[in-house]
Amino acid sequence: MNAAAPAPAAILDRIRRHLVALKMPTAIERLDGLVQRFEQGQINPYELLEQLLAEERHLRENRRVKMALLTARLTTLKTLESFDFSFQPSLDRNRILSLAQLQFIERREVIHFLGPPGTGKSHLAIALGLEAVKVGKSVYFTSLGELVSALAKAEREGQLRERIRFYARNALLIIDEIGYLPLQSGGANLFFQLVNARYERGALILTSNRGFGEWGEIFGDPVVASALLDRLLHHAIVIAIEGNSYRLREHAELVPEPLRTAALRLPQKAPEPPPKRRGRPRKHPLPTSAPLKTAHS
Ligand code: ADP
Ligand code: MG
């Protein structure tokens, strides 16, 4: 390309003022460099305009994603690109990559990542959350323990309905670490209310080191556990990871085999009686015997 006539200073000045008014700081910063490349014949006016807009847009997009990740509480950055599928041969890579297309959010499905500690359950859940944030979906990440504490606090403060609404309004709610720690008393009931509020209204990703058969123990009440599973296995995608801990990959020989592969088992407490509910009566009564449906994938 031949060198172009220099851009008229008065016009450049007006462009700069437009960019200031439009709050486009990156474009202002890049303008001189791009004009110079245009004058040297390296780019044409269309390319100048396109690159100016692209840089501004790119920066805004990055800023939006950063803010949305904070709001979603996705503060540790885990990506699908950084996941080593060769370390976890039981995982179907294509299946995970197709989940990253996010149709499960549109279909309001529930993804369960099951497996022993360190097998990448949280990593994959966070990575899918990141994909959802990138395309502008509202996401919230929490552990079951934190979720139940927050609901219990809200209940004490008479704010339970608002708190449930808060969790229910995200397009994707990620609930990590089901089964690691014993739930506080009344926790199963609070979790049930949330699951009910989201049922068929929003997508979920759950991670757990325990099988569904152990949910009665985890939630301290087989009736609530069965009602939970009834909802959480309807429209569900179950991904079981049967591998070794990535955390222990360099020191696996130091951990005895049964501990390496077995799901973490905590000392069992005697089952507590079902917690007494306070507050207003339940809208959806718990079924006395909810049949367990099998996941369709
Ligand atoms: P889990 O939730 O199953 O206990 P995490 O997802 O927290 O395990 O994984 C433990 C650590 O190992 C995290 O830092 C995670 O990023 C990393 N990790 C786990 N599996 C892989 C993998 N296949 N490739 C890369 N990093 C992995
Ligand atoms: Mg985890």
Given a cut of 80, whether residue 89 has pLDDT beyond it is: yes
Q: What is the mean pLDDT of residues 289-297?
A: 37
**% of residues, the chain, pLDDT over 70:** 84
Q: What is the mean pLDDT of residues 167-180?
A: 95
Residues with Cβ within 8 Å of 187's Cβ and at least 6 positions away in sequence, in order, are: 148, 151, 152, 219, 220
Residues with Cβ within 8 Å of 31's Cβ and at least 6 positions away in sequence, in order, are: 12, 15, 16, 19, 52
Q: Is 244 in the pocket of ligand 1 (CB under 6 A)?
A: no
Please write the tens of the pLDDT for every residue from 181-200: 888 889 999 999 999 999 88
- Residue 263 has a pLDDT of 47
Please write the tens of the pLDDT for every residue from 34-49: 999 999 999 999 999 9
Q: Out of 87, 246, 250, 251, give the residue to mutate to test ligand 1, the one with the largest number of ligand atoms within 8 Å of its CB.
A: 246
In DSSP terms, 193 is beta-bridged to none
- What is 93-264's CATH number, 1.10.1040.10, 3.40.50.300, 3.30.1280.10, 3.40.50.720? 3.40.50.300
Phi-psi sector, 115: left (phi>0), alpha (psi -120 to 50), beta: left
Q: Is 84 in the pocket of ligand 1 (CB under 6 A)?
A: yes
Q: Out of 241, 247, 264, give the residue to mutate to test ligand 1, the one with the largest number of ligand atoms within 8 Å of its CB.
A: 247
pTM over 0.85, yes/no:
no
Given a cut of 60, whether residue 26 has pLDDT beyond it is: yes
Q: What is the mean pLDDT of residues 162-172?
A: 95
Residue 22 φ then ψ, to 5°: -85, 0
Q: Is 112 in the pocket of ligand 1 (CB under 6 A)?
A: no
Give distance in angstroms: CA of 13 to centre of ligand 2.
Answer: 54
Q: What is the mean pLDDT of residues 273-286?
A: 43
Given a cut of 80, whether residue 286 has pLDDT beyond it is: no
| Confidence grade of residue 292 (pLDDT, cut at 50, 70, 90) | very low
Please write the tens of the pLDDT for every residue from 226-242: 999 999 999 999 999 99
Please identify, by atom number, the ligand 1 atom nearest to the C-alpha of residue 84.
Answer: 24
- Residue 295 has a pLDDT of 39
The residue type at 115: G
- Residue 268 has a pLDDT of 38
The residue type at 217: E
Given a cut of 50, whether residue 276 has pLDDT beyond it is: no
- Residue 172 has a pLDDT of 98
The token duo for 19 is: 């960019």
In 3D space, the residue among 239, 242, 212 whose CA is nearest the CA of residue 228 turns out to be: 212
Given a cut of 50, whether residue 75 has pLDDT beyond it is: yes
Mean pLDDT computed over every residue of the chain: 86
Give distance in angstroms: CA of 176 to centre of ligand 2.
Answer: 6
Nearest CA to ligand 1 atom 7: 122
Please state the domain extents for the chain: 9-71, 93-264
Given a cut of 50, whether residue 114 has pLDDT beyond it is: yes
Q: Which residues in 98-240 belong to E strands, given as ranges?
A: 110-114, 139-143, 172-178, 203-208, 236-240
| Confidence grade of residue 6 (pLDDT, cut at 50, 70, 90) | confident
- Residue 265 has a pLDDT of 42
- Residue 245 has a pLDDT of 87
Number of other CB atoms surrounding residue 280 within 10 Å: 8
